[in-house]
Amino acid sequence: MDSFKGQEGIQMLLTAEQEAQHIVLSARNLRTQRLKQAKEEAEREASQYKSHMEDEYQKSLLESSGSSGSNVKRLDEETEDKINNLKQSASKVSNEVVDMLLKHVTNIKV
Amino acid sequence: MNDSDVSKQIQQMVRFIQQEAEEKANEISVSAEEEFNIEKLQLVETDKKKIRQEYERKEKQVDIRKKIEYSMQLNASRIKVLQAQDDVVNNMKDAAAKELLNVSGDHNVYRNILKDLIVQSLLRLKEPSVLLRCREDDLQLVESVLDLAVQEYAEKANVHAPEIIVDKEVYLPPAPSDDNSHALHCSGGVVMASRDGKIVFENTLDARLDVVFRKNLPEIRKQLFGGAAA
């Protein structure tokens, strides 16, 4: 009688022990999974960040090419103006200069 | 112990085992969460930092490229302006060169000019015997003032009258015409050389224009372009 009951009891303990191990094992597995998830989620966040940065970068590229285009135009216009002013002031004094040059050529100091 | 005591004890032990397992599982799960958060945060921060640096570098490169481009364009436009200045000034010289052709047209004035040129050349060379070359068209005018010039020189320099040999075989090239404006030409004046040909003095109108132009260039440029010309 006693030994039979004893067997039952031991069986119950063994079963409980097995279940306990299962519980702990599952918890450990979950932990491992969780760490993997950490990597995956981190990657996802990082690539989101990267595409955000890329968009900002592309936007700034567009802006700068636009502004440099207008800079070039401004520069060209300024240059044109300078050259036109040059030509104008030159034509004003051109005759004077030519006369002066001729005078020096034909006035011979002996 | 009786049966019920034994089974109670066993049940207690079973419960104890279960509780321990659940507590342990809980600990594991809590620390798993902590580790998850820490790990994820660290990974994200590291990656973000790398990404930030990468884009900073990219932006800097773009900036540098823009600056280089702008500076190149600035240079190009400066060169354009300088070139225009040069053209303007050279156009004046060309205009003067054209006017030179009229000088030899008025024979009276031109004859006097030739005489002065010959005297000046003699004074520069200070040689007792010289060669003189002129344009074929000017030969008559030159010969008509030769004696006068020689005398004037002899007086001014206080020397004996030098010997002047006019080259009648090789003449200076003729006045430029429209169809050969790039060929050698001469607008007037003379070229004189020592007898041995070693010292040559170019006193043509064209050579004089060159000298006058070059000498007055700084002044002309200042007048036209103001202070520091680019």
* Inter-chain CB proximity A20 and B18 less than 8 Å: yes
**Single-letter amino acid code for the residue at B195:** R
Q: Which residue of B has its CA nearest to A99?
A: B96
Nearest to B24 among A24, A86, A100 (CB): A24
Which is more confident, B99 or A3?
B99
* Amino acid B189: pLDDT: 95
Q: How far apart are CA B150 and CA B161, in angstroms?
A: 6
- The string over B11-22, giving b where at least 16 C-beta atoms fall within 10 Å of a residue's C-beta and e elsewhere, is eeebeebeeebe
Residue B178 and residue B143 in contact, taking contact as beta carbons nearer than 8 Å: no
Helix (H, G, I), strand (E, B) or coil at B201: strand
Crossing angle of helices B205-225 and B3-103, in 10° steps, is: 140
Residue B127 and residue B162 in contact, taking contact as beta carbons nearer than 8 Å: yes
Whether A62 contacts chain B with CB within 8 A? no
Residue B17 and residue A20 in contact, taking contact as beta carbons nearer than 8 Å: yes
Q: How far apart are CA A50 and CA A103, in angstroms?
A: 76
Residue B89 and residue B220 in contact, taking contact as beta carbons nearer than 8 Å: yes
- Arithmetic mean of pLDDT over chain B: 92
Q: What are the φ/ψ torsions at residue A87 (nearest 5 degrees)?
A: -60, -40
User: In the predicted model, what is the mean pLDDT of residues B153-170?
Assistant: 94
How do residues B185-194 score in pLDDT, each as one tens digit? 999 999 999 9
The side-by-side arrangement of strands in the sheet containing B200-204 is B163-166, B129-133, B189-194, B200-204
* Amino acid A9: pLDDT: 82
Asked whether the CA dihedral B26, B28, B31, B37 is positive or negative, the reply is: negative
How do residues B103-151 score in pLDDT, each as one tens digit? 999 999 999 999 999 999 999 999 999 999 999 999 999 999 999 999 9
- The string over B124-150, giving b where at least 16 C-beta atoms fall within 10 Å of a residue's C-beta and e elsewhere, is ebebeebbbbbbeebeebbeebbeebb
How do residues A51-107 score in pLDDT, each as one tens digit? 999 999 999 999 888 888 888 899 999 999 999 999 998 998 899 999 999 999 999
How do residues B17-72 score in pLDDT, each as one tens digit? 999 999 999 999 999 999 999 999 999 999 999 999 999 999 999 999 999 999 99
DSSP B104-159: TTSHHHHHHHHHHHHHHHHHHH--SEEEEE-BGGGHHHHHHHHHHHHHHHHHHHTS
Reported pTM: 0.72
Judge if ipTM > 0.95: no
How do residues A14-41 score in pLDDT, each as one tens digit? 999 999 999 999 999 999 999 999 999 9
**In the structure, what pLDDT confidence band is assigned to residue A3 with cuts at 50, 70 and 90?**
low
List all residues of chain A from 13 to 42 with a beta carbon under 8 Å from chain B.
13, 16-17, 19-21, 23-24, 26-28, 30-31, 34-35, 37-39, 41-42
Per domain, the residue ranges of chain A are: 1-110
* Inter-chain CB proximity A23 and B117 less than 8 Å: no
For residue B175, the distance in angstroms to the closest alpha carbon of chain A comes to 17
Whether A90 contacts chain B with CB within 8 A? yes
* Helix ranges, chain B (H): 3-103, 107-125, 139-157, 205-225
Residue B77 and residue A78 in contact, taking contact as beta carbons nearer than 8 Å: yes
Whether A59 contacts chain B with CB within 8 A? no
**In the structure, what pLDDT confidence band is assigned to residue A2 with cuts at 50, 70 and 90?**
low
Residues of chain A found within 8 Å of residue B29, distances taken between Cβ atoms: 27, 30-31
* Amino acid A4: pLDDT: 64
**Which of B21, B181, B129, B206 is CA-nearest to residue A18?**
B21
For residue A38, the distance in angstroms to the closest alpha carbon of chain B comes to 5
Tokens of B82: 């300088």
**Which of A13, A107, A81, A17 is CA-nearest to residue B109?**
A107
Residues of chain A found within 8 Å of residue B123, distances taken between Cβ atoms: 110
Residue B114 and residue B142 in contact, taking contact as beta carbons nearer than 8 Å: yes
